[in-house]
């Protein structure tokens, strides 16, 4: 079982390309790692993580989406971004190639946390 890593340790890492063959985090591993990223929660039976944000206005949501998109491109790990209404944004992350969570998901979540209010 991988040991939970502090958010600052995760932000110092880089996502590693995954084409499958990487073991998924178990539910207990994912829960332990999420304890260091309290803004996120598990979804889809523990195979994804999600963060909900309510921002000041539409412009702030689009700005954050663009910033998250830029980080995702640098990391080559892409979250699902959902804009609802004019000020609610939710971000969902998982490793598509394995249909579950990997270290990459928590690295990206920590980097998103570092840029959000």
Q: What is the mean pLDDT of residues 8-35?
A: 84
**Domains of the chain, start order:** 7-115 (3.30.1360.20)
**Tens digit of pLDDT for each residue in 62-107?**
999 999 999 999 999 999 999 999 899 999 999 988 999 999 999 9
Q: Provide the pLDDT for residue 60.
A: 95
Q: What string of DSSP letters covers 43-74?
A: EGGGTEEEEEEE-SSHHHHHHHHHHHHHHHHH
Q: Provide the pLDDT for residue 38.
A: 95
pTM for the model stands at: 0.90
Q: How far apart are CA 72 and CA 95, in angstroms?
A: 13
**Tens digit of pLDDT for each residue in 32-54?**
999 999 999 999 999 999 999 99
Q: Provide the pLDDT for residue 1.
A: 52
Q: Provide the pLDDT for residue 63.
A: 96
Q: What is the mean pLDDT of residues 10-24?
A: 77
Crossing angle between the packed helical segments 103-115 and 58-75, to the nearest 10 degrees? 140
Residue identified by tokens 């958010």 is 7
Say which residues have a Cβ less than 8 Å from residue 13's Cβ, sequence separation at least 6: 103, 107
Band of the pLDDT at 10, cuts 50, 70, 90?
Answer: confident
């Amino acid at each position: 079982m991988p040991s939970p890593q502090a958010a600052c340790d995760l932000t110092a890492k880089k996502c590693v390309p995954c084409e499958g063959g990487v073991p998924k985090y178990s539910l207990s591993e994912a829960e332990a790692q999420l304890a260091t990223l309290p803004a996120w929660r598990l979804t889809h039976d523990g195979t994804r993580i999600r963060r909900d944000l309510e921002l000041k206005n539409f412009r702030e949501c689009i700005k954050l989406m663009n910033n998250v998109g830029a980080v995702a491109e640098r990391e080559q790990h892409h979250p699902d971004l959902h804009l609802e209404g004019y000020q609610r944004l939710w971000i969902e992350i998982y490793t598509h190639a394995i249909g579950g969570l990997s270290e990459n998901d928590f690295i990206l979540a920590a980097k998103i946390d570092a840029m959000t209010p």
